[in-house]
């Protein structure tokens, strides 16, 4: 059985920043994310023989990380609360002003997305994967990824009050901003 | 020195086919924020524990394989 090659190791090292970014996007928690990356590296190491040279290592690693994330979530019995209603109401966000959107607000909005939508929009919009690759990573159809991305986008626009026409739309939300994200 | 340069290896996935149109289309504000959010995460300093982990794995290279 082949030893893990030096280049494989080098590539793993190189992939760590992306893996961490993806892990944080999934977990929304830096510590959990790093644990997840660690698990991923160990798994990847053990399974290195099943990685086919010449294929996309990054996509392979993302797949492992994602599987690990969901299996951990299942084990923990979903401590994540995903009743969006509650979160949405609590995390009031300032409407975008002059197209200037605060990164903190954006992060808060992203956090409110259901995991499947969040991962889809991250894979496509940030990690640079194609729809086909993202579908493979998530083990679903390309069409599913597309619809998740578009739902994610719509949801973000909604939360952040971005929409072509009324960017300043006075609304219930601004009335509710009670300092949760002041400071 | 362990120097993990950010994108040296990970660079671009093989088939980058988002070239034609931004998949997030006209919602450039969201597309931009998404990038910004993610790039910030990617450029975060990688803790040593990962390089150490890989070294450990390397040392422990399995002579035996279960299964």
Structural domain boundaries in chain A: 9-75, 84-176
Cβ within 8 Å of residue A147, ≥6 positions away? none
pTM above 0.80, yes or no: no
Residue A88 to residue B30: CA distance in whole angstroms: 18
How close B26 gets to chain A, by Cα (Å)?
9
Q: Within an 8 Å CB–CB cutoff, is residue B52 touching chain A?
A: no
**Residues 6 or more apart in contact with residue B21 via CB below 8 angstroms:** none
| A84-176 placed in CATH 3.30.200.20 | no
A84-176 shares the fold of A9-75: no
Q: Does B35 touch chain A (CB under 8 A)?
A: yes
Average pLDDT of adjacent 10-residue blocks, chain A of 183 residues: 78 95 94 96 92 87 96 76 44 50 89 95 96 97 97 92 51 42 42
Closest CA to B35 of A181, A147, A25, A36: A25
Whether B57 sits inside 8 A of A124 (CB atoms) is: no
pLDDT-derived band at B62 (thresholds 50, 70, 90) equals low
A157–B17: do the CB atoms touch at under 8 Å?
Answer: no
Contact A94, A153 (CB under 8 A): no
C-alpha count within 13 angstroms, C-beta hemisphere, residue A93: 26
* Nearest-angstrom CA–CA distance, A53 and A60: 11
pLDDT at A163: 63
ipTM of this predicted structure: 0.74
Quick check: B23 contacting A, CB < 8 Å? yes
**Architecture of the domain whose range is A9-75:** Orthogonal Bundle (1.10)
Contact A3 B61 (CB under 8 A): yes
CB-based contact (8 Å) between B50 and chain A?
A: yes
Interface membership of B6 toward A (CB under 8 Å): yes
């Amino acid at each position: 059985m082949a030893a893990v090659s030096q280049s494989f190791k080098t590539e793993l090292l190189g992939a760590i920043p992306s893996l961490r970014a993806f892990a944080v996007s999934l977990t929304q928690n830096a510590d959990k994310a790093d644990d997840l990356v660690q698990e991923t590296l160990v798994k990847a190491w053990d399974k290195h023989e099943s990685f086919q040279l010449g294929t996309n290592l990054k996509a392979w690693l993302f797949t492992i990380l994602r599987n690990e994330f969901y299996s951990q979530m299942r084990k923990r019995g979903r401590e994540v609360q995903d009743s969006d209603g509650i979160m949405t109401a609590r995390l009031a966000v300032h409407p975008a002003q002059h197209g200037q959107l605060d990164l903190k607000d954006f992060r808060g909005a992203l956090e409110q997305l259901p995991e499947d939508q969040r991962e889809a929009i991250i894979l496509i919009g940030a990690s640079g994967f194609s729809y086909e690759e993202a579908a493979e990573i998530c083990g679903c159809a390309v069409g599913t990824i597309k619809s998740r991305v578009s739902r994610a986008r719509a949801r973000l626009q909604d939360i952040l009050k971005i929409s072509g026409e009324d960017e300043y739309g006075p609304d219930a939300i601004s009335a509710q901003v009670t300092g949760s994200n002041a400071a | 020195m362990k120097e993990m340069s950010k994108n040296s290896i990970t660079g671009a996935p093989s088939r980058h086919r988002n070239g034609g149109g931004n998949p997030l289309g006209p919602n450039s504000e969201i597309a931009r924020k998404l990038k910004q959010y993610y790039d910030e995460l990617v450029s975060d300093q990688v803790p040593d524990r990962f390089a150490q982990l890989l070294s450990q794995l390397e040392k422990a290279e399995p002579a035996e394989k279960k299964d």
